[in-house]
Amino acid sequence: MIILSGTLKATDERLDALASAMRTVLEETRREAGCIVYSFARDVLEPGLLRIYEEWESRELLAAHVKTAHVAAWHKALAEAGGAEANLHLIEVSSVEDFG
């Protein structure tokens, strides 16, 4: 399993303007082969901070995801909204077990 985790930092106004694009990329991505989890969450305590969390079955399926039209549209919407500072980490998971 591959986890992509990180943050996107922009103004609250930019994040508000991106709501429709966020919804579209979330809906389309969640239908993709290999997508286990794909989520965005606005931080309650830090304005303008969007937390990103993804789980993928494989690197290959994640690589296919970043080449889709809806990801291109998401990146275009980000640029048109004035951009954002991204900080993402890719984590390869060798085992998973239930914790609670």
This prediction has a pTM of 0.91
The string of pLDDT tens digits covering residues 28-87 is: 999 999 999 999 999 999 999 999 999 999 999 999 999 999 999 999 999 988 888 999
CA 98 from centroid of its chain's CA atoms: 24
pLDDT for the residue 81: 85
| CB count in 10 Å sphere of residue 85 | 10
Label residue 100 by pLDDT band (50, 70, 90).
confident
Domains along the chain? Answer: 2-92 (3.30.70.100)
The string of pLDDT tens digits covering residues 64-80 is: 999 999 999 999 999 98
Determine the straight-line distance between the first and last CA of the chain, rounded to whole angstroms.
20
Cβ-count burial of 51 within 10 angstroms (0-12 exposed, 13-18 middle, 19+ buried)?
A: middle
The string of pLDDT tens digits covering residues 7-17 is: 999 998 989 98
- Coil, helix or strand at residue 84: coil
- Coil, helix or strand at residue 80: helix
